[in-house]
Structure 1
Amino acid sequence: MENQNIESMEMDKSGPSSSNDETSFSAFFSEKRQLKLQDVWPELESSLDAYGISCAINLPQRSVTISRTPTTKGRNYYDKAKSVVELLAITQVPPHLALEVLNGNWRFHTLIKTGNQEGGFCSKFGISPDQFAKRRDWLAGSLEAISALTLCHLYVNENTAAAVGSAASVLEFRRIVENCIVSDVNPAESNNKIKKFLSYKNHVLQKRGVDYTAVLEKSGMSEVTSFGAYVAKGLSRNKEVDQAWPFVESFLEQYGISCTLHRVLRSMTFSTTRVTKDPDVMDSVGALLEVLGSTSVPGSKVIQILDSRLQYEFIKTGFEKGGLCSKFDGIEKELAKNKQRLKRNAKNLGDLLVCDVYIDRSSVVVVGSCAAGLKEMRSIVERCLVKNEDPATAVRRLRSCNKKQGSLRLSDEKQVSLMKKLEGLCL
């Protein structure tokens, strides 16, 4: 029976499927999801429109409805749109990540209904409320360890569990969840890797004089979020992470967020706890710690970003996790050449826009204090890598505008003025 269940789950990698004659789908959201949905709505509407899918939000009823149109590109797009709407409506998956699932080809996800709702594990397998509460607490307590093993973004609430990550990792998470909720198997006791991680976490906390149970006890928490970030190989990267980690740890503790640097697994993990003050901090910290673990940005710069002294733009260029190659077909053929052109002009562009540019194998990160300059640098990078535009042309145009401003290093006010002029030049 268990193998059959897992087998059926493996077939269901893209969320709810639709029949050929289904033309619309609605999902209801809670009051606490409303603000995030409203914020992301213009971008969601635009993304769905690109696939020929219409959408509407009804705030009084707290519902979202998507519909097929004569221009809908195919059932797969409609099914993916249904999944994304459910992620936004009933889980704590942040909007930017849900949109990556919709727009990218390399973000896999799963949404598992674990409670008594229609199609949920409890209703399907006759699991009592007491049994479910105990098993859900097991899952929540093991979530940070699971994120270390899978490097997924994981979300557990009252009656759902969701994951966003690689295909293999998402499937592994589904197996762990089913074994826990359906088969009454505690992940912390049955999985040796999870057991070792939790033991390591306990050891680290004891050394710092922190109560293990106060950090990892998640019984009764309505929502738990956890994710893992990879630390790239190499002594220089490990050194940067090691130097920055005490500050990262201290910063996250202020918000009641548990974090672990596991050098053997080369992973950084983060999880909400019973004392988490603002769970939304997890949304912004996730991408930033990915920058710390996988790019050449110095740890000191990451600390300044965490401390709100600097801002950054993180542009993924490869096929992974919604990178440019996953969004734009064919650009990988010229990617290496275009990155070299970008490297040759990076210092001049950085000087003109008052920012630092870090170009790595699968990303470009721009760090600075002026939002307008960072936004313009992102535009230049994307035009170079996607449209094959020579960044040297951007340098010449920036210098031309700069001379009229009368200064080589621009203030924020002058940069804003410069950005407006550049828009007219169609950079």
Structure 2
Amino acid sequence: MPSTYKKDKPWDTDDIDKWKEDAFTPDQNLGGTFSEESSFATLFPKYRETYLKASWPMITRALEKHGIACTLDLVEGSMTVKTTRKTYDPASILNARDLIKLLARSVPAPQAVKILDDGVACDVIKIRGLVRNKERFVKRRQRILGPNGSTLKALELLTQTYILVQGNTVSAMGGYKSLKEVRRVIEDCMANIHPIYNIKELMIKRELAKDPELKNENWERFLPHFKKRNLSKRRVPFKVVDKKKKVYTPFPPEQEKSKVDLQIESGEYFLGKLAKERAQREKRDEVMKEKMEDRKRKREEGYEAPKEETEVKKKKKKKKRREEEGVDGEVKKVKKRKTEAVEQE
């Protein structure tokens, strides 16, 4: 028998959002006031005192709508929120706790008040403990911002969130899914993976989500795979010693002589204070003298006259002439002998 429940309902149209959550109203609180008071407190830095003092009336008005009381203690430097008899929503005190946490992390009050709305969550990411070296931490934190804040702005537009980098933390506000993506990008950046790679991936996902055919498919084949190509920076020793040539001996090497032992051997240890100072001064003067001579020699190298080529050529010509004259003389002597012998005959 076919099911009679899967019929088309005339009131079930496409314009109805089945996943919409209606706001919690005082009429839905049938239990009445809470039996116990819930409260949360947080400290804030000294430089936030003036701003919080100026914006506290606006924060108080926003919390009064949800029946939450708040106090600002400037002596101790703390903010406190607590439930009252007018509080009707049990989750409002948790939102108020997130509100004071964001205010302490330098989030502007008009932006922080949005946490009281439904569907808006916050995440405070502690990034200081992820990198040990302070200089490296500062560089990677700056990498999140990018040139003129362009990287941060791109990340905010793609994830539809509000992100604030302040001190040792990164505060983010938005939807739950978006906050998860922001945390992944921030943690990857602290692990030396540039945010631009994650931004490219988010852009591709955004375009794929628009396509109705690819909306429910696996996107792994479309996403780029960035391989880590950093070569291992193993320290190479300055002097590489071949240990194969050394003969193994069970005895440890002889202990090196200390500075005192070397002074005793040279006799400097037994000298007086004035004599020691004089010896050090003489040694320093010798080193200075050697350095000055080296500098003088280097300066004078530029003024040395180059050897003239004419002298070398003249010497070569003289040598050649002598050789030629020597050969001609021998030839003349041989001819003379021959003529003498012919005459005698």
Q: TM-score, normalised by structure 2?
A: 0.44
* Pair member with larger Rg: 2
Between structures 1 and 2, the one with greater strand share: 1
Instruction: Indicate the structure whose relative CO is greater, using CA pairs within 8 Å and at least 6 residues apart.
Output: 1
Q: TM-score, normalised by structure 1?
A: 0.37
